[in-house]
Amino acid sequence: MAILNILKDGDETLRRHCRPVEKITPRITRLLDDMKATLHKANGVGLAAPQVGVLRRVCIVECEPGELIDLINPEIIEMSGEQEEVEGCLSVPGRWGITKRPAKVTVRALDRKGNSFTVNGEGLLARALCHEIDHLDGVIFYDKCVSMLSPDEIEEN
């Protein structure tokens, strides 16, 4: 597994729309493995393929250590409620803001074997799923922030 370079805010790749995966090739499964290694190295909770320069609808989330979810062509099929919490992004170091997200989401995706599955997320998992799926459409969390944290507030955290 390789550690990939995480693109930073300002890189146009992060603003592009990603294409669906039509066939799960060894290249895609290797991408998932490399993204996992990269996420662990960065101590993040989620990573999307465009953040490592690949414009495909692939992302991973890991809200609980060891509970990593690979998502290929993920789609939010249900959402309910609302939450406002602090959010950041590995591509936007040092900036944090409050986003309004659904309290609960149901996401349908393919796993690395090409099997369709659904995942129900609430709290952090709901936010992480929404955040990563947004990346696949070129959306960065601060586009949706109701407020950004000041440098003072960030130091306290």
Q: What is the dihedral of CA 122, 63, 42, 152, to 10 degrees?
A: 50
Residue 24 engages Ni ion in binding (rule: CB under 5 A): no
CB of 135 to Ni ion, least distance (A): 6
Residue number with CB closer to Ni ion (16 or 113): 16
Please tell me what DSSP assigns to residue 147: E
The residues, any chain, with a CB within 8 Å of residue 155's CB and separated by 6 or more, are none
Catalytic residue among 67, 87, 132, 155: 132
Distance, in Å, from the CA atom of 129 to the CA atom of 148, rounded to the nearest integer, reads 20
Residue number with CB closer to Ni ion (24 or 39): 39
> What number of chain residues touch Ni ion (CB under 5 A)?
1
CB of 81 to Ni ion, least distance (A): 22
Specify whether 132 is catalytic.
yes
Q: How wide is the angle at C-alpha 55 spanned by C-alphas 53 and 57, nearest 5°?
A: 125
CB of 67 to Ni ion, least distance (A): 19
CB of 57 to Ni ion, least distance (A): 15
Contacts (CB under 5 A) with Ni ion, residues 77-116? 89
Encode 71-114 in three state secondary structure.
EEEEEEEEEECCEEEEECCCCCCCCCEEEEECCEEEEEEECCCC
Q: How wide is the angle at C-alpha 146 spanned by C-alphas 52 and 71, nearest 5°?
A: 35
Residue number with CB closer to Ni ion (89 or 109): 89
- Give me the residue whose beta carbon is nearest to Ni ion: 89
Q: Which residues bind Ni ion (CB under 5 A)?
A: 89
Catalytic residues: 132
